[in-house]
Structure 1
Amino acid sequence: MNDLERYFREKYLSENTIKTYLRNISIFINWYSGEIINIDPIIVDNYKKYLMEERKISIRSVAAYFNSLKIFIKYIYERYKIVTKLSVINEYGKLIRVNIPHIKHKIKDINYNKELSVKEVKRLLKAALKANERDYLLFLTMTLTGMRVSETLSLKVFQLKDLMIEVTLKGRTRSLILPPSLKSKLKKFTKDFESESYIFKSNRKLDKALDRKTVYSLMQKYAGEAKLKKEKCFPHNLRKHYTVNEINIGTDIQTLADELGHKNLETLRIYKERSVEEKRKRMQKIAKKYG
């Protein structure tokens, strides 16, 4: 697994993505007792049954396990030139396709009615500001930029000097503009920090950034203080809050996808459809007043 981990790092994958791939691939290796070269569609189908029937994994999650298996087979070929029964090689000897079936699953709107309203986010920010400036600015940054929590935690002081900041995740880099009011607050907060310091530093290790688990715990803590439903208060929900705000002011989906670093537009279309449907319901209520 050490060589496999190095392979992933060479692809500039995030730590969380690497952990997920290693975990999923370990599950396959522990289940499969044969030789790698003999992996075929029947084995893949049996693996799918194992995941769903014995491990009780949903069809949506099975798709992620299959994606990890594709990555594993590519690794086997690129590192050792081993061709499995699922590998397709072109005339130049390069792996061009891994014929593992695509698992189709409908993306469900599982967070419907779980989004934070503007009033709720303001209450959360107020509770954080009362307790800790760093925590307040952390939540405010995610709220105003739509950055993922890992992207936000990776921010360093020197980035505040530039008009646009660059964030990198899974080997992809995109540029963002911080609202002037937010940038001003962050500069004031970090005025005594070293240039290479993380903006949102850990209290225990000052040369390290906060970790994701701590951010989740902090958000749960302030949710209690703000008397908000804790099931609605998790870091990624601030990103969803930003997305809904952008759609409501008319930002088109492709532009929003570029800003958020989304490859799949399906989730954003769900928000768009919901926004249109909710507007239709509001207009219908108004119409009823006039018969």
Structure 2
Amino acid sequence: MKEIIITESTITRYQSYLVREEKSPATIEKYTRDVRAFSLFLSGRAVSKELTVSYKRKLTEEGYAVRSINSMLVSITRLMVFLDRPDCIVKTIRTQRQTYSEEEKELTKEEYYRLLRAAKVSPRLCLLLQTICGTGIRVSELQYFNLEMVRRGEITISCKGKIRNILVPGGLKKKLLDYAKINGIQSGVIFRTRSGRPMNRSNIWKEMKKLCESARINPNKVFPHNLRKLFARTFYSIEKDIAKLADILGHSSIETTRIYIMTSSTEHRRKIECLGLVV
């Protein structure tokens, strides 16, 4: 079998392959980052099953979370498919499905309200937080919130090869239109930088982190995706319809949606104690 060494040229061709596969920019960035880390581990050595297994073992020994390790292994699997080296693919780590979430990483509704109060000094950020949390969109999907669609009250999102429509709640629609009017936005994307470009994940992440101290919230809880998960838990607590929630979130698998709606360990423990089976 032909010997393959991962070079920068290999990674560039891999990125082009992912584009042809219609992967999202965020996915391409993530896969590329993981492959570069694997390439550093190889240090010029040719790809082999033994080295891939060794890399998996190294990640485990370094204390990475199982979910993170499996995510990195998926990236490498995609690379091996591209390189036509299925013999080098390793299995992900099998785990029993978790029945509750880690409380220290879960953003509560009360903490979300504290974030909004802290963000009052920045109307754009305050409205941006409400837009993500009030609709359950991915942070990358904010670019679809343009004035024309907001006026219509329905946002058409094209992501990961799928098209779905998001309804804009009446209260949020009014806030967005008022914001656009005050800031002289007559068309196009609403959340934009000073240069007129759509705000990206990095811009938003940095602005959110600045709120942590004044909002008295653990920084580990404050990132855009946690707003999406708060929407999911809140929606499910009212509707109890996981299939509908999966459609709203744009999930291909309900198994992914299950992760979003897990209760905290405290809530999980309270429900078990309410069973009254220990006397």
Tell me whether the two structures share a fold, i.e. TM-score over 0.5: yes
Unpaired segments of 5 or more residues in structure 2? 1-10
Where do residues 1-291 of structure 1 align in structure 2 (5 Å cutoff)?
1-32=11-42, 39-40=48-49, 42-53=50-61, 56-76=63-83, 83-84=84-85, 86=87, 100-106=90-96, 108=98, 109-112=100-103, 114-129=105-120, 131-191=121-181, 192-196=184-188, 198-203=189-194, 205=195, 207-266=196-255, 268-269=257-258, 274=263, 278=267, 281=270
Matched pairs, number: 261
**Are the aligned partners of 1:127 and 1:222 in contact in 2 as well (CA < 8 Å)?**
yes
- Alpha-carbon deviation of 1:144? 0.8
Alpha carbons of structure 1 residues 43 and 226: separation in structure 2 relative to 1, 3 Å: closer
- Alpha-carbon deviation of 1:56? 4.6
- Alpha-carbon deviation of 1:136? 1.5
Superposed CA RMSD: 3.2
Alpha carbons of structure 1 residues 112 and 3: separation in structure 2 relative to 1, 3 Å: same
- Alpha-carbon deviation of 1:100? 4.0
**Are the aligned partners of 1:17 and 1:170 in contact in 2 as well (CA < 8 Å)?**
no
**Larger Rg, first or second structure (1 or 2):** 1
**Are the aligned partners of 1:165 and 1:175 in contact in 2 as well (CA < 8 Å)?**
yes
- Alpha-carbon deviation of 1:284? 7.2
**Are the aligned partners of 2:34 and 2:72 in contact in 1 as well (CA < 8 Å)?**
yes
Matched letter for residue 65 of structure 1 = M
C-alpha distance in 2, partners of 1:102/1:284? 34
Alpha carbons of structure 1 residues 47 and 282: separation in structure 2 relative to 1, 3 Å: closer
**Are the aligned partners of 1:107 and 1:266 in contact in 2 as well (CA < 8 Å)?**
no
C-alpha distance in 2, partners of 1:195/1:176? 19
Q: SS of the residue aligned with 1:62?
A: helix
- Alpha-carbon deviation of 1:34? 5.6
Unpaired segments of 5 or more residues in structure 1? 77-82, 88-98
Q: Residue 94 of structure 1 corresponds to which residue in structure 2?
A: none
C-alpha distance in 2, partners of 1:23/1:245? 33
Where relative contact order (Cα < 8 A, 6+ residues apart) is larger, the structure is 2
C-alpha distance in 2, partners of 1:265/1:180? 28
- Alpha-carbon deviation of 1:261? 1.8
* Percent of paired sites with the same residue: 29
Alpha carbons of structure 1 residues 103 and 164: separation in structure 2 relative to 1, 3 Å: same
Alpha carbons of structure 1 residues 107 and 15: separation in structure 2 relative to 1, 3 Å: farther
C-alpha distance in 1, partners of 2:86/2:233? 45
Q: SS of the residue aligned with 1:209?
A: coil
C-alpha distance in 1, partners of 2:216/2:165? 35
- Alpha-carbon deviation of 1:62? 2.2
TM-score by length of 2: 0.77
TM-score by length of 1: 0.74
How big is each residue's C-alpha offset from its partner over 1:43-78, in whole Å with a ceiling of 9 and x where there is no partner? Answer: 43233223333x5534322212221122112323xx
Matched letter for residue 64 of structure 2 = I
- Alpha-carbon deviation of 1:139? 0.8
